[in-house]
């Protein structure tokens, strides 16, 4: 296994020579823990009351250890399953496995046993899971079938299945289901059922080759390559492509498709970011709309990466969650014993704005279940564990406001009426920024694109994050922050604001 790992590092090293930065995969990878799917118990148990400094109170985090991408999310029988990239053995990237949490309301989460661990094909990178209602794969009606990247000497696609509602998985003896012995980057399979052509479709990202391949299958085991999406626009080809998701959405009364695609580096604030491309998909080929404003960002902040949507969500909902971090500094995040959280789950919709398809994200309505009643605010307030701040900005006037705490740490927001944009200062005044050179950001530009005389902002503030939503959802910006204690003072001259306390989920 050691050989496999170092060959993998070597392959990536070669990619680095051709002027690409794969350094985050180049770190010392600890030897993988061999084992088959499922099982837990090789790690020392760690306990938590979820009250450590910076511990998120309304966002899921595992008790301990490293996480990155959310992956394989699937809904079944009232349970939202959240699987994710996880190192069961420590606080750094490596030994990638699939951690697991469950929820009945997308708000309160229970950490479950690790479901997939590295095996002789390599580490268990990102992927997806579907509910096989018609037993197309032969593992049983309603089996949950996971497709993921086995990352060893090469990145290959592998299958695992669960016949107990997603609590444990067995790896398929016919793995890999898509072999690869040439491409350095070929990963993060996201699978969905395409009704019109009666087949499963898989999207796969090709990293530094800037392509998303689409594959088709009748049974989830045998796959044929259908097409490849590329975009000859260098603004979209600045970093490696990862974690694609082709999502069917409603738009002006008909179906439209949106490709979500994470890119690193080259994100809106440097480092990681997630682009989207509205377009059409005919069961074989995805064609992005022709427009001149690419890249479009799912989120304008630095800390929303590798997000994809839940499979099999009820009522055709498109529920998205991202990794709330950035490869620029994730490995140095000053938190322990866990490392990294996910964004609040968000409902995605597509609206027409200035004649163009525009993605909107809003926090799922289930969060109202932990919300108190809005209280008018200006000055100090009782922040509780976490809260939502809602403000009304008159769009025709410049304005500014800030959030701060009793030790004087402060995050500033400046609205510019002529550009209709908000500048958010995630600088050294916000708290601890010294742990990584690239963490401090003097001014992040969030275009609000607002029309009318006033626009609303909803800002969700937790112990170590600030998530900004223009209230029609068409602009969002997600920030990690590490203040000594939560911000509990608003200074907003001439702006109407309310605070709604959000109860901790633990
Ligand atoms: C994205 C990513 C994926 C990969 C995983 C490895 O953050 O690089 O492309 O599958 O993380 O942990």
Which DSSP string corresponds to 152-199? SSSEEEEEEEESSTTSS-EE-TT--SB--SS-S--EEEEEEEETTTTE
φ/ψ of 386, rounded to 5, equals: -165, 165
Looking at the CA of residue 125, tell me the nearest atom of ligand 1. 10
Smallest CA separation from ligand 1 atom 9, residue:
242
Looking at the CA of residue 205, tell me the nearest atom of ligand 1. 9
How far, in Å, is the centroid of ligand 1 from the Cα of 68?
A: 7
Q: Is the separation of the CB atoms in 457 and 478 below 8 Å?
A: no
Neighbours of 81 (CB within 10 A): 25
**Beta strands in 315-366, from DSSP E residues, in sequence order:** 319-323, 338-339, 346-353, 356-363
Give 306's contacts (C-beta < 8 A, 6+ positions apart).
68, 69, 70, 71, 126, 242, 243, 262, 272, 274, 322, 323
How far, in Å, is the centroid of ligand 1 from the Cα of 373?
A: 39
Looking at the CA of residue 96, tell me the nearest atom of ligand 1. 12
Give 45's contacts (C-beta < 8 A, 6+ positions apart).
none
Q: Which helix (H) or strand (E) holds 116?
A: strand 110-116
Q: Which helix (H) or strand (E) holds 249?
A: strand 240-251
What whole-number distance in Å separates Cα of residue 372 and Cα of residue 360? 25
Q: Which of 126, 207, 263, 340 to mutate to test the pocket of ligand 1 (most atoms within 8 A of CB)?
A: 126
Smallest CA separation from ligand 1 atom 12, residue:
125
Q: Which of 23, 29, 85 to mutate to test the pocket of ligand 1 (most atoms within 8 A of CB)?
A: 85
Exposure string for 261-295, b = 16+ CB within 10 A, e = fewer: bbbbbbbbbebbbbbbbbbebebeebebeeeeebb
Structure token pair of residue 450: 């607002």
How far, in Å, is the centroid of ligand 1 from the Cα of 129?
A: 16
Q: Distance from first CA to last CA of the chain, Å, rounded? A: 38
How far, in Å, is the centroid of ligand 1 from the Cα of 104?
A: 27
Residues with CB under 6 A from ligand 1: 68-69, 85, 96, 125-126, 149, 187-188, 242-243, 306
| pLDDT value at residue 341 | 98
Give 140's contacts (C-beta < 8 A, 6+ positions apart).
132, 163
What whole-number distance in Å separates Cα of residue 248 and Cα of residue 257? 5
Looking at the CA of residue 69, tell me the nearest atom of ligand 1. 7
Exposure string for 208-240, b = 16+ CB within 10 A, e = fewer: bbbbbbbbbbeebbebeebbebebeeeebbebb
Q: Which of 243, 274, 304 to mutate to test the pocket of ligand 1 (most atoms within 8 A of CB)?
A: 243
Structure token pair of residue 26: 């180049």
Neighbours of 340 (CB within 10 A): 26
What whole-number distance in Å separates Cα of residue 116 and Cα of residue 169? 7
Judge residue 80's burial from the number of C-beta atoms within 10 Å of its C-beta, 0-12 exposed, 13-18 middle, 19 or more buried: buried
In the predicted model, residues of the chain with pLDDT beneath 70 are: 1-45
CA 13, 15, 17, 22 torsion-angle sign: negative
What whole-number distance in Å separates Cα of residue 400 and Cα of residue 384? 24
DSSP 8-state class, residue 7: H
What whole-number distance in Å separates Cα of residue 172 and Cα of residue 160? 5
| pLDDT value at residue 22 | 52
How far, in Å, is the centroid of ligand 1 from the Cα of 69?
A: 6
Give strand pairing partners of 286.
281
Q: Which of 20, 127, 187, 209 to mutate to test the pocket of ligand 1 (most atoms within 8 A of CB)?
A: 187
Residues with a known catalytic role: 69
- Cα 310–312–313 angle (5° rounding)? 65
Smallest CA separation from ligand 1 atom 6, residue:
125
How far, in Å, is the centroid of ligand 1 from the Cα of 125?
A: 6
How far, in Å, is the centroid of ligand 1 from the Cα of 232?
A: 24
Looking at the CA of residue 149, tell me the nearest atom of ligand 1. 10
Structure token pair of residue 114: 């690790």
How many separate helices (H) and strands (E) can be counted in the chain? 1, 34
pTM: 0.93
| pLDDT value at residue 175 | 98
How far, in Å, is the centroid of ligand 1 from the Cα of 126?
A: 6
Looking at the CA of residue 243, tell me the nearest atom of ligand 1. 9
What whole-number distance in Å separates Cα of residue 321 and Cα of residue 306? 9
Looking at the CA of residue 188, tell me the nearest atom of ligand 1. 10
| pLDDT value at residue 45 | 61
How far, in Å, is the centroid of ligand 1 from the Cα of 303?
A: 15
DSSP 8-state class, residue 371: B
């Amino acid at each position: 296994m050691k050989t496999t790992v170092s060959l993998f590092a070597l392959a990536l090293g070669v990619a680095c020579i051709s002027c690409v930065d794969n350094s985050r995969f180049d770190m010392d990878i600890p030897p993988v823990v061999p084992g088959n799917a499922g099982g837990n118990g090789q790690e020392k148990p760690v306990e938590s009351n979820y009250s450590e400094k910076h511990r998120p109170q309304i966002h899921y985090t595992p008790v301990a250890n490293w996480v990155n991408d959310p992956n394989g999310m699937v809904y079944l029988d009232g349970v939202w399953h959240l699987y994710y990239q996880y190192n069961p053995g420590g606080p750094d990237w490596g030994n990638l496995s699939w951690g697991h949490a469950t929820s009945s309301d997308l708000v309160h989460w229970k950490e479950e046993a690790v479901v997939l661990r590295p095996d002789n094909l390599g580490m268990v990178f990102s992927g997806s899971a579907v509910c096989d209602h018609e037993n197309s794969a032969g593992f049983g009606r309603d089996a949950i079938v996971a497709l993921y990247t086995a990352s060893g000497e090469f990145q290959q696609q592998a299958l695992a299945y669960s016949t107990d509602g997603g609590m444990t998985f067995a790896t398929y003896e016919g793995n890999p289901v898509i072999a690869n012995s040439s491409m350095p980057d070929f990963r993060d399979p996201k699978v969905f059922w395409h009704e019109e052509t009666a087949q499963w479709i898989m999207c796969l990202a090709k990293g530094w080759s800037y392509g998303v391949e689409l594959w088709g299958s009748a049974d989830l085991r045998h796959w044929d390559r259908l097409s490849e999406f590329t975009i000859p626009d260098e603004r979209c080809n600045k970093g490696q492509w990862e974690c694609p998701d082709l999502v069917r959405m409603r738009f002006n009364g008909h179906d439209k498709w949106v490709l979500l695609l994470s890119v690193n580096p080259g994100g809106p604030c440097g480092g990681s970011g997630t682009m989207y491309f509205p377009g059409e998909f005919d069961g074989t080929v995805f064609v992005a709309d022709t427009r001149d404003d690419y890249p479009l960002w799912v989120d304008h902040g630095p800390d929303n990466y590798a997000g994809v949507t839940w499979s099999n969500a009820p009522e055709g909902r498109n529920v998205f969650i991202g990794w709330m971090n950035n490869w620029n500094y994730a490995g140095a995040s000053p938190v322990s014993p866990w490392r990294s959280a996910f964004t609040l789950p968000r409902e995605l919709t597509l609206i027409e704005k200035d004649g163009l398809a525009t993605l909107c994200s809003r926090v799922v309505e289930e969060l109202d279940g932990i919300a108190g009643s809005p209280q008018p605010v200006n000055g100090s307030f009782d922040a509780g564990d976490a809260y939502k701040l809602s403000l009304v900005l008159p769009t025709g006037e410049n304005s500014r406001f800030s959030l701060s705490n009793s030790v004087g740490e402060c995050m500033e927001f400046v609205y510019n009426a002529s550009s209709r944009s908000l500048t958010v200062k995630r600088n050294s005044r916000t708290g601890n920024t010294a742990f990584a050179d690239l963490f401090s950001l003097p001014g992040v530009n969030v275009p609000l694109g607002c029309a009318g005389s006033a626009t609303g902002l909803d800002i969700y503030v937790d112990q170590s994050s600030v998530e900004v939503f223009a209230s029609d959802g068409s602009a969002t910006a997600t920030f990690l922050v590490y203040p000594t204690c939560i911000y509990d003072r608003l200074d907003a001259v001439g702006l109407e604001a309310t605070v709604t306390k959000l109860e901790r989920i633990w």
